[in-house]
């Protein structure tokens, strides 16, 4: 596919790098010549210096032959204008990033009236990811499939857990519940496990299944799964605003600490049911005074990564609670991982996932589409959901007879509302929703799981 990306901020660069590695023809547009030169010299893509909303700039980038334009500049209005011009100049699909909370209730209208393929709000999407984790606080990460009927949840195996030293082949005999362990992360090693894999304490394990089955599994291994009832947030960012609204709607008590008086006043008007506190959230005396020790969860959502890390490390010392840490930059990802910050949210990664999912689905519009895509294990693996719309080489054949590539696991099948954790005799059928976990990049069709 020929794809034009306008705006080379964090999201734009992430998309350009990811999509250029998936057999796409990528052209990037930005008005900063140094950024264009840097990325075009390192990766297989073309760069155009200029205003992405300019007709002549888009023509220079090849808009007439483009399949998709993605506008992710820092301005919502500029992104929408880029998409409008692209629709007229090239009649291609368009995706716009729209971040202003004032537009959040109008995204459907904007998409429909402007003829956009997708409108994405990164902060709203990131808040949604956090909200899912707070529903299952023992999980470090929660990804949903099959219209939220199936969850893939990552957790750390406790030191004295019954799972310690358990061989996966023995799991179903010892544990009730229709679940499957589909990834194991041990230090730097990533494992797509088979029955011979033996779990160890401190492993990061991803389990897939229906909500009730996953809850029953966690209960049996002694992991608490009840949704949190109280949340303290430091930082009045847009993510904090969206998250507070979601939590209040779920009946969760929320206290939000913000050090900017004007922003505090705005949040008080927007969130009358929340407790909004004016003060510096990095002041531990203030946090203690506001009762941090009594809250079941804590989210560090300021705009400064270092503050968020220190806040979460301090919050961990104030009691057993669920921690959420927002990180914008990932240059020190390995160092951050060693700090064991519980759940770390990268808003730019959430945005990139949604867009990459759409791109892969476009490339296979007549076959088995990528319905959902999640980067897992720090981007080292993917979990994808395919909708099976027609017969193919993988349908109506027992899984044990399929020659599936190494490092790929058929994790779950959803069939007419029934959740199937597949065994060797199970078959993929037309109409199914199928969840795949893999260390291979770029899967776009269900047949890509087969060895040549």
Residue appearing with tokens 């990932």: 330
Give the pLDDT confidence score for residue 174 in this predicted structure.
78
Give the pLDDT confidence score for residue 366 in this predicted structure.
45
- Give the whole-angstrom CA distance, residue 316 versus residue 333: 20
H or E, element range at 95? strand 93-97
- Give the whole-angstrom CA distance, residue 53 versus residue 384: 33
Reported as half-sphere exposure (CB side, CA atoms, 13 A), residue 68 has a value of 24
Is the pLDDT at 222 greater than 90, yes or no?
A: no
Average pLDDT, the chain: 90
pLDDT one-digit tens code per residue, 32-71? 999 999 999 999 999 999 999 999 999 999 999 999 999 9
Least confident of 56-60, 168-172, 382-386: 168-172
Prediction pTM value: 0.85
Give the pLDDT confidence score for residue 330 in this predicted structure.
61
> What is the torsion angle, in degrees rounded to the nearest 10, for the CA atoms of residue 354, residue 307, residue 282 and residue 320?
70
Give the pLDDT confidence score for residue 349 in this predicted structure.
86
| Closest to 238 (Cα-Cα) out of 95, 354, 103, 378 | 103
Is the pLDDT at 116 greater than 90, yes or no?
A: yes
Are the C-beta atoms of residues 58 and 86 closer than 8 Å to each other?
yes
What beta strand segments (E) does 282-379 contain?
297-300, 322-326, 343-345, 369-376
């Amino acid at each position: 596919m020929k794809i034009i990306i306008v705006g080379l901020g964090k999201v734009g660069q992430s998309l350009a790098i990811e999509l250029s590695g998936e057999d796409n023809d990528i052209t990037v547009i930005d008005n900063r010549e140094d950024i264009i030169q840097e990325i075009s010299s390192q990766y297989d893509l073309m760069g155009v210096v200029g205003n992405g909303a300019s007709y002549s700039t888009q023509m220079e980038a090849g808009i007439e032959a483009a399949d998709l334009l993605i506008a992710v500049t820092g301005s919502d209005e500029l992104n929408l204008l880029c998409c409008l011009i692209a629709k007229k100049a090239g009649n291609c699909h368009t995706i716009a990033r729209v971040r202003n909370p004032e537009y959040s209730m109008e995204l459907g209208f904007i998409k429909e009236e402007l003829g956009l393929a997708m409108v994405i709000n990164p902060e709203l999407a990131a808040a949604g990811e956090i909200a899912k984790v707070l529903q299952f606080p023992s999980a470090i990460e929660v990804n949903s499939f099959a219209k939220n009927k199936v969850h893939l949840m990552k957790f750390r195996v406790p030191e004295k857990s019954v799972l310690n030293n358990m061989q996966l082949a023995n799991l179903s005999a010892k544990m009730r519940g229709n679940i499957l362990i589909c990834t194991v992360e041990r230090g730097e090693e990533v494992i797509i496990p088979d029955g011979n894999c033996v779990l160890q304490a401190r492993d990061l394990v991803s389990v897939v299944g229906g909500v009730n089955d996953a809850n029953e599994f966690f209960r049996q291994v002694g992991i608490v799964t009840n949704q949190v009832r109280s949340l303290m947030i430091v930082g009045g960012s847009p993510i904090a605003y969206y998250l507070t609204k979601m939590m209040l709607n779920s009946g969760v008590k929320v206290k939000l600490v913000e050090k900017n008086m004007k922003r505090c006043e705005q949040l008080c008007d927007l969130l009358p049911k929340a407790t909004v506190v004016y003060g510096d959230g990095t002041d531990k005396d203030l946090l203690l005074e506001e009762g941090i020790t009594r809250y079941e969860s804590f989210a560090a959502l300021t705009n400064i990564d270092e503050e968020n890390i220190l806040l979460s490390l301090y919050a961990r010392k104030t009691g057993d609670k669920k921690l959420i840490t927002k990180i914008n930059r990932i240059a020190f990802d390995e160092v951050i991982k060693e700090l064991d910050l519980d759940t770390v949210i990268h808003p730019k990664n959430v945005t990139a996932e949604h867009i990459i999912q759409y791109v892969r689905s476009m490339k296979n519009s007549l076959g088995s589409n990528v319905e959902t895509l999640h980067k897992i294990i720090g981007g080292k693996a993917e979990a994808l959901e395919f909708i099976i719309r027609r017969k193919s080489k993988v349908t109506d054949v027992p899984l044990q007879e399929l020659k599936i590539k190494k490092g790929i696991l058929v994790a779950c099948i959803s069939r007419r509302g029934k959740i199937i954790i597949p065994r060797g005799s199970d078959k993929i059928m037309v109409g199914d929703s199928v969840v795949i976990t893999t260390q291979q990049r770029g899967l776009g069709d269900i047949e890509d799981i087969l060895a040549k």
